[in-house]
Copies of this chain bind each other. A is one copy, B any other.
């Protein structure tokens, strides 16, 4: 049915994949599984990423920007900071039927760049963000199953046609992902909280200990709690530097809220306020248990103000 949806709505035969790393290569591997005749031309500055993607079967061949003129879809799977330049580069080659998607972790900034770069082709750009772990890098780590059961957030523009949106939804469903839609500003606020903030805190904690004069003793005694808490501090520094700066306003709001909360916890410790401390820990333990067991109806549900798209 999904295949039919894809074929009916749009003849998706030629894809250009810009960025043949883990995410991009995993998308095309997943699509080729149900769509073996798909032609995927790969573009990447990194020769090793290109040859890796060919070896994995994620791309058919290496190509160039000019190949976009003959493509049905362009998938931009590069660090968010490089997206504005790439959008400007591809704009002159975009045919009227070609759909463009990205996979960036921030969305409002990418949309601003698309408005600047794409002009009358803006409606052909559909901003996407697959939520999938990225501790590993490169096409050799790519898996057709990477998005299976994961969420993919689409933040549609008012300029997007329903037909194009249908194609992109069908594409992600083919990878096994669950498609969620929200505005770019909601996306950026939500992920500043649940993803970008914890990454910052994990990087900060590891760097704090590494900078100590007794760092060796500290790391010698760090155990599984520390290991899991800091797992995301093994993520790509370049990617997370870009995410932090491209989602600056929302991340600053989250950092401030967390600093206030932690200062309150600090005060409870300083004052030996065992009631306040126990209450905070009990609320957290309970909430996490509800989250893990899918009891989301236990939580407050007043949505953020939905700004105009």
Stretch from A3-11, A12-20, A91-99, A222-230 at the B interface: A222-230
Asked if residues A259 and B262 are in contact (CB atoms below 8 Å), the reply is yes
CA distance A230 to B235 in the complex (A): 17
Q: How far is the CA of A200 from the CA of B281 in the complex (A)?
A: 8
Chain B nearest CB from A238 CB (Å) reads: 7
The reply on A302 being an interface residue by CB < 8 A is: yes
- Cβ of A144 under 8 Å from chain B: no
Nearest-Cβ distance from residue A120 to partner chain B, whole angstroms: 31
Residue of B226, B282, B289 touching A198 (CB-CB under 8 A)? B226
* Interface size counted on chain A using CB atoms at 8 A: 99
Task: Judge whether A195 is part of the interface by a CB distance below 8 angstroms.
Answer: yes
- Which residue numbers of A lie inside 8 Å of B, CB to CB? 131-133, 150-151, 153, 180, 186, 190-191, 193-195, 197-238, 240-241, 244-245, 248, 251-252, 255-259, 261-263, 265-266, 269-270, 272, 274, 277-278, 280-292, 296-297, 299-304
Docked CA distance A153–B220 (Å)? 12
- For A198, the chain B residues whose CB sits under 8 A away are 205, 225-226, 229-230
In the assembled complex, which residues on chain B have CB atoms less than 8 Å from the CB atom of A201?
201, 205, 229, 262
State whether A218 touches B233 (Cβ < 8 A): no
